[in-house]
Amino acid sequence: MVEYLYEKDLRGMQFNILASTRHEWVVAELSARYGMRKPEIRRRLIERLDMILLENLPARYEGWLARGDAGDDVDRALGVELLTVYIPLAEDTRMQDIAEYTRERIATDDAHDESIAHALAQIRELIRS
């Protein structure tokens, strides 16, 4: 007799973790930054991260605010380290590519806001994929 005792669906529990005040704040910040709806952000977080990382989201986000992506405006605007190191939602190499491309574009055509907006759209796709 085989009982799959542990492989229960944990999504309910993970959602409960995201329901606290501080997590709400992080989800709101992420959704404002990348222009995605909150339920979608929550879904991606639940899919990609394990439970202890979910619990730790606010501390990690604060850590990024304090010292992540220091020294580079483009990285800071896109949140490269935010999405690869602090809250790993996106693939490292793809993120670097996007940042590299944006930096080049800004250097050549000087269309700063436009390039950032374009890159954010790409990142949105990356998170969704």
Partner 1 sequence: MKKTVDVSLPIGPLHPCFKEPARIRCETKGERVISAEMDLGYVKKGIERIMRGRPWQEVMFLAERICGICSVIHNMVCIETLEKISDIEVPERAAYLRVIVNELDRIQSHILANFSYCYTIEHETLGMYLLNLRETAMDMLELITGARVTCAYMVPGGVRFDLRDEDRPTLEAALDHVEHELRRYVGMFEHGPLVAQRSKGVGIISREDVIEAHGVGPVARASGIPESDRRCEHPTYQKLGFTPLSYEDGDNYARVMLRFDEVFQSIDLIRRCLANMVPGPIRGGGTIQAGEATHAGEAPRGELTYYVKTDEYGRIVDIAVRTPSIMNIESCAHYMLEGVSSAADVTSTFISADPCIACTER
Partner 2 sequence: MSFLQSIKNTVRSKSIHVSYVNVGSCNGCDIEVLAMLAPRYDIEQYGIYVHNNPREADVLLVTGAFTPQWEDKLKSIWDKIPEPKVAIAIGNCPISGCVFNRRGAYVDPPVAKHIPIAAEVPGCPPRPTEILNAVLSLAPLVFKDYEEKQS
Report the interface residues with partner 1, using CB under 8 A. 6, 10, 13-14, 16-17, 19-22, 50-53, 55-56, 58-60, 62-63, 67, 85-86
Q: Which does 117 bind (CB under 5 to 8 A by kind): partner 1, partner 2, none?
A: none
Q: Which is nearer to partner 1, 1 or 66 (CB)?
A: 66
State the nearest-atom distance from the C-beta of 10 to partner 2, in Å: 9
Q: Which does 63 bind (CB under 5 to 8 A by kind): partner 1, partner 2, none?
A: partner 1
Residues 86 and 124: their CA atoms lie apart, in Å, by 17
Q: Which does 37 bind (CB under 5 to 8 A by kind): partner 2, partner 1, none?
A: none
Q: Which long-range contacts (CB under 8 A, 24 or more apart) does 96-104 make?
A: 98/122, 98/123, 98/126, 99/74, 99/75, 102/74, 102/78, 103/74
Residues 103 and 78: their CA atoms lie apart, in Å, by 11
Q: Which is nearer to partner 2, 10 or 111 (CB)?
A: 10
Give the contacts of 104 (CB within 8 A, at least 6 positions apart). Answer: none
Among 1, 2, 3, 93, binds partner 2 (CB under 8 A): 3
If we measure between CA atoms, which residue out of 61, 84, 80, 83 comes closest to residue 70?
A: 80
Residues 26 and 44: their CA atoms lie apart, in Å, by 14
State the nearest-atom distance from the C-beta of 3 to partner 1, in Å: 14
Question: Which residues are near partner 2 by CB under 8 A?
Answer: 3, 5, 8, 13, 16
